[in-house]
Every structure is written in C-alpha cells, then in structure tokens.
Structure 1
Amino acid sequence: MKDGFLKAAALSPALRVADCAYNTRQILTELRAAAARGVKLAVFPEFCLTGYTCGDLFLQRTLQQGALTGLQELLDASRELDTVVLMGLPLMVRGKLYNCAAVFCRGQLLGLVPKTYLPNYGEFYEKRQFTPGSTEVEWVNVCGQDVPFGTSLLFRCRQMPSFVLGVELCEDLWSALPPSTFHALAGATVIANLSASDETVGKAEYRRALVENQSARLLCGYLYASAGHGESTQDMVFAGHDLIAENGTLLAEVKPFAGGPAETELDCQRMESERARNTSFEPSTEGYQTVEFDLALTDTVLTRWVDPTPFIPHNEQLRAERCELILKMQADGLAKRLEHARAKTAVIGISGGLDSCLALLVAVRAMKQLGRPTTDVLAVTMPCFGTTKRTRSNAEILCDELHVSFTEIDIAATVHSHFRDIGQDESVLDVTYENGQARVRTLELMDTANRTGGLVVGTGDLSELALGWATYNGDHMSMYGVNAGVPKTLVRHLVRYEADIAATPALKEVLLDILDTPVSPELLPAKDNGEIAQRTEDLVGPYELHDFYLYYVLRFGFGPAKIFRLARAAFAGREEYPDAVLYKWLRNFYWRFFAQQFKRSCLPDGPKIGSVTLSPRGDWRMPSDACAALWLAELEQLFPQKDA
C-alpha cells in the first residue's frame, strides 16, 4: 500500500443457487487465498451469498436469514484478514427488501450500500422483489452491529487517504447517470461494482468498454466483479467476466468462462494526481458520509506491468498509426506558421543526426501540404571540428533523396575568428569551445533565413529540453520548434516509420543508417579513425531512462522514491540497469531538470504532441530559480551512501 498502490481483486466463486452455507464456504476459501496473496480489496459479485437467480425465493425469510448467517460467518473470519471485502446479499430494511453490497473489514461491518437502479426489462425483473436504494443515509442494525445504510457512503483508509472507496451494483453502471459519478466527485478514487451481468453475444465487449470509459471519465480505479458458474441457467448464462480498469486502461480481466480472479494493483496516488490537475473535475461532497477503516501500511509487490517506454505504443499497427498522426500534427503546425509568416523558405540546420532528420522530414511534409515545391526547404550543413564523414554524407544523401535545396557552410573559419575575438584558447576543449560552434551555427541559420525570406525550423526534442541539453541561444533557439513536444525515444520511432514507408530504397537506407548513428552534438574533434568522439548518452545518461523519468515527473507529479520504484519494476531483468545506475541517472535528471529551467522559460513556439510537454506558455510553468533540494534529499534517503 505504500506509494499509493492498492492490491485489488474481483472474484467470482462457483456457487449454488439459494445454498447460502455452501456459498459462504466458497467465498471464504477465495477470500483467504486472496488475502494470502496480499489482496487488500476483495470484491465479490452481486447476491454472491445467495446467487442472483433466486427469483421469488428472495422473498422467503429463510433465504434472507441464510444470507445474514453467511455474512456473520464471513465477518467473524475476516477478523484475521487485513482486507476490505465487498459482498452481495438481499437485506430487509423496515419492511422492504434491498439488493445490497456489504462492506466490511476485520470483523467490522462498515456499511451497506443498496442498488440504485433496478432493471425491469428483458430477462430482468428486480422490481418484482426489491426496492431502489436512497441517497439518504440511515442507521440499521445488522449482525449485531449498528451500520450506515444508503447509497451516499464512501469508505476511506486512514493509513492511505488516497484510497477512498465508492460502491455501485450492476445496473447502476449501465444507467444514464451512474451513482459512481457522484461517488467520484465526492472523493472516491476506487469504484467497486458488484454485478450479475448475464452473457449474451457482444455483451462482453460492451461491458468492457463501459468499465474502461467510466474509469476514464471519473479518473478512478474501477473493479467489476460479475456472477459466474453456479447460477441458474434456466433462462440465462453467467460467465464471471471480471474486470479492473484504471483511468481508461484495462489492467486485469478474466474473460468470459475463463475462471479465476482478476487481480492487480491500483495506483490511488495517480488518481489523486489526475484530479488535481483537472479543473473540470469539481468535488461535491454534499449528502455523503465517509466511514474510515484501518489497513496495515505495507509494501505492495507490483505485478502490474510498468511500461519502460511510456511514450511508445507496443502494438505495431497502433505505433504506425500514432507515428503518422504525430507527423501530420508537426507538419500542420509548421505549415500554418510558414503560411502565416509568408515565409519563402524553411531553413534547417541538417547534421546527419536524428533530430534534424525528423525536422527535415516534417518540413517536406509541410511544403507538400501547402502545395509548394520541396525545394522551398533549405537544408544547411555546417561542418566544423567534430563533424564526421558519416554524418556529413548522410545529411547530403538525405537532402538529395527528399529533393530539398541543400547548401554547405563551413563554419570553421568563423569559429576560429570568434575564438580570437573572445580570447579562447583552442587547445582547451571546454564548454566555450563547444558552445561557440553551436552559436555560430545558429547565427548562420538565422541570417540565411533573413536572406532567403524564410524562418528557421528548430530541431531540439522534448528530452533535450528537459535535460537542458542545448546551447542557450544556440541550437536552443529557432523560429519554430517542430520537435519540441517529441521525446527522444519517440523521435527514433518516427524516423523508423518514415524509413518503413520510404519512397526509394536509397532514402530508406540513409534513414536506417541515421538511426544507427550514435546520438552526438559533434562539438569535439573526431577520433583518429574518424569516429564520433562525443556520445550524448555517455554524458547525460540513457534517453530511455530519462524519458521514463520525464513521463512520471510531469504527467503525474510523482516523487523521486516512487519513480525509482516504478523504474525498478519497468527495467527489471535489464543487466545494464542495476539499482545504482537507475539512481545515478534519476539524480542527474532532477539536477539538470531544475538547473536548466531558464532555457525552457524562453522557448520558441512549437506544436504540442502529447500529454507531456514543457512549453512555458502551456503545460509547464516553473520558476527558473526553483531549488531541487527537496527532491534530491528524498533520493538520498534511498541511497544515503551515494551522496555521503
């Protein structure tokens, strides 16, 4: 439960209709096994103590009492278990029968939530036996305990306040205005649905979509436990289709008739974070009562999949569709800017590297969209002290295959002159040596754009902006940054996608070779054998780690300790990423992210691509003087010896 993780399960034990003693034993067996696996929230189906298909037997006091006897047995057994349990049963209250969910923990009956919407169409006729629940909360005595009864109940864990539970039953979700909507607005981060949804052709797909969409709309975790084997098949068949979703993503599913529990970990802190940033999510607690309960605050072993590349779809078809969409977004943004500025050319500094390659591909698309010749794209290569034959050759071949205008400006003489002007010793390969070249290149591009009536297209990507890996007023500056919303790991896939759909074999070959070239600013002299001397990832760390960190820092606002924990899960089994390496680059990320905000505070315009972006005018506003001390201190608690 630490870090907001809640191990939850939806369970559908095999039952016998109207055999409460048998059903109680089945439920208890499943519950004890789930608790042994560390489950803290166990949700069982609607009427699981009696079976859903009892019909008019529900009106028999013998069955009603059998359900209460079963509930008492489960309450007694739960005293030994550190689990919140939800169980369905019929309950007589003031002369009316209700379809209820009992919520209990460690022997205490926390509350009874009646079903709001009773289906009375098709194969369902619940209004024949039951009364709809009321939002008014009253107190009833059940199993010797005084218990709140009503639909406006929430249940909060004292040890993990981000875990707030709301309850609805089956048809409630299928209604036009589900009670879970109000539960979530009142603070519920987890919704449990006790259901007995029968199986018909096509219903499973619709049910899955309902659960996913409701969890997305409500920014919550959603558990759906449905009746399964053992229900009467007189007129219906039940398949035990159990589902767990979180904010629109299906985390666990027991497909119809497959059997077994749906079990995973929900991230309650993530839900809190989503709601904190969503100003349309307006809390309203009017009429609600909250019951608090206790659970031991222990580490939750993560079994849910943590994506090591959160910006990249893993399905090949989806990835291709996403890449095409992103390229269209980038191109459309640039096309609009070219059109608005009445630019005659789009000027790009082309290095033979990944980022400038992507910017060039986008510029070509933009010109085609505008119905203009691709020769209106002016690619400028500017070799200097660190330029290698490989990158210079790739830049020229790429431009030739894309049919853009191409020119070379050797900046070495200008850099030498500049170094003389400022008194820089050229034998000292320091930051001035490197940045002087970058700033001269930007000067050449800006003035070339002025001379040709164009604008400079920036090539820097989102990952570089996060790390500040750009020369201030050098490659940091442009007139429109098409890659500003694209992280480095995604840049690779966009270029690979363009290689896959390349018009010629030569274009595909050069794109693949650019992909295979080490990422480098090429600002230090090449090695004697002509190879690149400066590899970016050796200096700032692996981009796949930094993109992972960036995603969780910006998207959810998680702290360093939780991000480190997620990284361990995501990169488990990767020998190159032991804990010490994950820690090293996470610390480096925070240090650079805070120290380099001044560069992001004055970024050029650029299109927003995904939910994570660093535009100072849109999604990320941070003072340039912010201190990283709190974040680094939290990291130091994980590895105090590292910073001693």
Structure 2
Amino acid sequence: MRIAGAALNQIPFDWAHNIQTISTAIAQAKAEGVELLCLPELCLTGYNCEDLFLSDWLPESALAHLQQIRPLTEGICVVVGLPVRLHQRTYNTAAVLRDGEILGFAAKQFLASDGVHYEPRFFAPWVAGETTTVEHAGESWPLGDLTFEHLGVRFGFEICEDAWRPDNVRPACRLRGKVDLIVNPSASHFAMSKTDQRYNLVLNASRNFTCTYLYANLLGNEAGRIIYDGEILIARNGHLLKRNQLLSFKEVDLEWADVDFSTPLEMAGELVPLPAPDEYRELNQAMSLGLFDYLRKARSRGFVLSLSGGADSSFCAVGVAEMVRLGVAELGEEEFKRRSGAFDEAKTEVVQTGAGGAAHQTAIDVDNAAETQNQKPDTANQALVNHLLTCAYQGTVNSSDDTFNSAKELADSIGARFFDWTIDEQVSGYVGKIEGALGRPLTWQTDDLALQNIQARVRAPGIWLLANVQNCLLITTSNRSEASVGYCTMDGDTAGSISPIAGVDKDFVKKWLRWAQTELGYEGLRYVNDLQPTAELRPLADNQTDERDLMPYVLLNRIERLAFYDRLAPAAVLAQLIAEDPAADAGQLRAYVRRFYQLWSRNQWKRERYAPSFHLDDYNVDPRSWLRFPILSGGFSEELAAL
C-alpha cells in the first residue's frame, strides 16, 4: 500500500485556510497514487487554539467543517485531526475518513504537560480500551481506543505525546500483533536537535512493536511563538523508508512510501544514526520560517529594527535576510512575494525622517530589480530585503563610531534601508524636565540607572513611529540571557511587536554570528564580531561592557540552566559549578550565583511584558510558553543567605 504523511502550515480556527491546505494535501496524495494519508494533529482547527478548546462552539464547528472534507476522500483513506467535545470534556482526536464516509475517531490517551505544553488544561485524556459514540446532524460514529482496516491493512493510532511515553504504557504496546501499521498525527514543536529524538522514537517503535510507523508533524509558525518543523517519517521494523526536508516554506509538504505488508521485512539491528545536527543551521532555518509566517499571518508589510551595531540587533537583521534567501531559494521570487503578502505593484517609497537629526538611506527599486532577468540572485534578494527591512541607528554622545560603522556596514551589505539620527536633544529635554521638577541635577554618580534607561526609552517612540507609518512589525532584540537577569529597559530596547531571539542565549548569539560570517558569507558582520557586547549607555570613558555589568555570559547561561532547566536550589547550583571547575574562585562563583538569583527574582515583571518570542532551544524563560515564576516573591533570600 502506498502510504503518505503531509505536513501542513495551519492557522488557529482559520477554517478556509486550514481546509484549503487539507484539500491540497489530499489532491496531491491522490495525484501520487497514495492510498492512506496521515495529516497532522488538530490540523482542522490548528493546534494552538488555547482556551477556545474549552468552548462548546469550536469543537462543534470543527465537526461541521469536517463534513466539507468528506467528499474529498473518494478513493483514499485520510486521517484528519480535530477536537471533539462530549459531556463538557474536550478530546484530541484523529478522524478516519474514506470514500466520503467517517469511519470513526481515535482519541489521544496521554497529554503533554511539560515545557511549552498545557494540554491537560484543554483536553481530557482518553482511557485505554474504552469507546463511545459521537453524534452530529443525525449521524453517529465510534470514538475512543479504536483500530481500523484499509485494503486489508490493519492500523491503529498514537497521537503525538502517546508515543513519548514508556514502551510498557504507550498505546503501541497494546497494538502489538493486532495491527500492521501505527499512524501518528503530531504537533511536536521545534527545538534544536529535537529531530534526532523523533527519528529514534519512530524507528525504535517500528522495530520494538514489529510494525510500519507513519509520522506526520505540523509545519511552520502556527500561532506566534511555537514553530513546527513539518517532519515526516515512515519506518518499518527499524528501517527508515522516508524522511523529508524539515522546515519547508511550503504550506503543504507531502512524502510517501510503498510498503508491501504481505512480505516480511527483516528486523533492523542497530539503527542507522542521523548525521550530527548542525544547530546553527537548524536555528537559522527555524527562525527564517518563523519570521516569514509571522509576517504573512500578521498581515504586515515588513519589519523595522533599531540596529545598534551590536550582536543582538545584527542577529535579527541577518535573520530577515536569511528569511528572504531561504524563502526565495525554495519558493522562487514571485511565489515568495505573493505568499508574504507584503508586496504590491507600487514602487518602494522613500521614507522621510522626522525631527531629531540628519538621516541617510539606501533604497533599491524592488520592481525594477525583479524585472532584471540577468541579475545575480544575491542582488535580487537584496532588493527584497530592502522592501521588507528598515533599520535605524539612533545614536547619543555615548555611542561609538565602532557601533555606527557596524550597523551601517551590515545594513548596506544585506540591502536593508538604513537611517541614522541622534536622540541627544530628546534625552536632554527629559533630563532637564526632571531636574527642574526635583530641583537638583541628575548625575552619573547619583542616578546611573535612570540616566541609562532614559536613553533606551527615548529610542522607542521614533522607531515605533517608523514602524507604524510603514505598517511593519517592530523587532525587539533582547536575548534569553538578558531576559533572565533583566538587563534591559522596559519600554526601551524591549519595545516591539516580536522578539525573535528572546529564547536564545547570548553566548550562542555571538557564536552564531561568527558562523553566519564564515559559513553564510555575511561579511558585513565582521565589525560586530570584533566588538565586545555593550549597551553604550554610560559615557564612553567608562568602557561599559555587558559582562562587566553582569558576569561572563557562559557562566550566566550555566547558572540559568542549572536553576530552571535542572530545577536546582541555589546551594546545589553553586556546588555543581565548583565541581565542574575546582580551580575556579569559589568566592567569585558564590557572588555570581547570588547576583543571578537576585536579578532573576526582581525582574519577573519584565519577562511578563516581553514581546512574543520564538521557542528555539530546549527551554526558554517566557512565562507564557515555558517557565512560570511569581512576580512578587521572597527572592530566594533564605537560600542565598545560606550560601
């Protein structure tokens, strides 16, 4: 039998869009002669409908919309994910359709409740071995722990989290010997190196349970924060039959394999390992796809970025350039422009700056660039970047020539529009007002943090105005390390619509930039890669650097991981650091641990207010996706005193 999985790029409760991608997948499968097609988990509604799953109307509407898919299944068996609500409980199910009929609904038995998952809030787990019926418009169908048959092949289900449980409790252990095929519709989020886990999971399941295993994941940035890589895996008895290219820019990605269920296949011995993951490349592809989907689903016209010349803003700028490069490479220029929704027939307009200093701009005519047939691909891509990304360097007397040159060189090299202006006049105006109100001067000796923060905050209104005028998304550039210790100015450098790298630590940011320069050819990064990260908010004579203000970033990241990924108490964190580096100064390590926990505790309110960020690593500090923490607390005072 020819079996297939299709990765779909869906949108929460966008019925027309979701049914269109489902329809496209079914049509492609039929054209390829596929006989059984698995679509991803909750693909009809979208996986991230959140508390709407608790309503009566959303599951009811999903059942109603499922009827539109029935006529499409003539001559093919199709698995479609959707919620079903019975007796005030919502179940995560996979509907099996064939020849215009609904055969039944298999229900998910184990719910994901760790990390970014909150499924027990929305769904009830199905009890193994139980079945019931669901009714709609005068028809009824079986629902529960079901198996099915198609063309003589018996198949059953594991739905995403079901497969991540131990072999002695997961549904597959009860399906052994009863089915030839296990189908797994999934919504498994992207994290660097996670594909290795899925690969081993699927191949081991096919070997351990002596079956063929068909796995199909969601694709793209569905709802804002979580990105899905669209992985499709088909394995039999420990042998890989099919695996697709991950993180596609396509809305439908289908892969199929022919399986002769009547002929035995020798069991695999050792599993063939995947090549070692390239996390720099993985993150690059995921962030590019995440930005592209956010852009088009938000119906925005592009991005605006306050480009400081530092590592974080440079990372974001290259991220947009890579979104263009990778998107065009896969879709072609015209399809990329159409899908983005950010282009029209009008030529690129020159944006004028407001008051506050001279401005400079580099602009490329997008339409003319597109019409030049013999143009080099990178030049054409620069024209698209010019249309989609506007950057501004907002200098003060504390800004250096180094960061200005870094910002301008990078913007010019990728084709972004670039402006620069100064904000000293606005800073002086606010400082003067407060000095007049208080009747005393503000000085660096008495008002250090306040004078730093006002510079960052004054940068926000102008860059917001530029974004609003162009109907663009404002990118904010904070990374995970800064979020952990609150090394940021609320309503200043944190101002923005989207924070793409807030889930990535600063040490990784620095390493990624060096990789992007050498491996991707972004020579415009040579300036920033030679600089020490600095906020440039104190007088230049102070030689301010981030690590002098905080601690070495490598150590900060290690404390953060031990504290909130491994969930250790402060004393255990300190003991682990000393054990890992016995030659280190124990007193200095103690001071760093104490400083980390103090800064962490007092800055939860900042993390609550960050712009939406992408989940890219195996954890993050976003309270709306991975890590909850009280805004007000005892601040580990007793635990830190005991150090």
Instruction: Please give the range of the TM-score, normalised by the shorter of the 2 chains.
Output: 0.3 to 0.5
TM-score by length of 2: 0.47
TM-score by length of 1: 0.47
